[in-house]
Structure 1
Amino acid sequence: AEQAVHVVGIDRGLRFLAACYDEKGKSILFSGQKILRKRRKYKKLRAELQAKGTKSAKRRLKKIGQRENRWMSDVNHRLTKTLIDHYGSNTIYALEDLTDVRFATEKSPKDQRYEIASWAFYQFEQFLTYKAN
């Protein structure tokens, strides 16, 4: 087997989508602020459309739901691709184990609960695994 050139620890979160720390002590942070803003915009739009409740509002809701999901996948794709391109092959990526991690939403402000509970961290992990291989 070939020797690993890099060992990279990746911490996933919302303030920074990925915080990477390599064996040389260098860190790279990918800010999640713009993404949070966009998701808040979608959330507000959904709330307005749901309050309206008309047939066309329901149609629009369906459309934007799929659009937000496609966009989230795209963000995860670009982020993982950037990481893979940056570190190159023969890199070991260590992700923290998020199994059974629940962000305590009852302690967080009501308007932020959705944001806290719904980013696709698992998808990020799947993309990274697939691209690293």
Structure 2
Amino acid sequence: MKRVFPFLASVINGLLFIIVFISLKGHVINVNKVIPEGDICMLLYLLPGIIASFISRGENFIALFIGSVICIPLCLLIRHYFLLEIRSYWEELAYLTSAVFWSMLGVMLVTLYRVWSRQTRRQ
């Protein structure tokens, strides 16, 4: 069962990553009307990393990273065939690469929280 957790967490991270991508690019969630100057919607990509990190119990950072990277071509295909294209291919690729960064930042925040909580319990 322990060998299944990295794969399961990677799949969940990928599915949540695609759901956040579709909801942002399909304008289901419209964040830019709240703050028109900034692009605060990238912070929503923290959620897939945080949720998948809690499922994987803070282990297997590489598996979560691979799950996010595999979603880049899938999101590009979804964008090309099902959603309205405004940006060029390279701009979307840069957007998705930064989304992977934000997703992995969520994983690292959960890992930092777990390390911090272990340290406070020992003292």
Please state which band the TM-score falls in when normalised by the shorter chain.
0.3 to 0.5
Larger Rg: 1
More strand by share: 1
More helix by share: 2
TM-score computed with the length of structure 1 as normaliser: 0.43
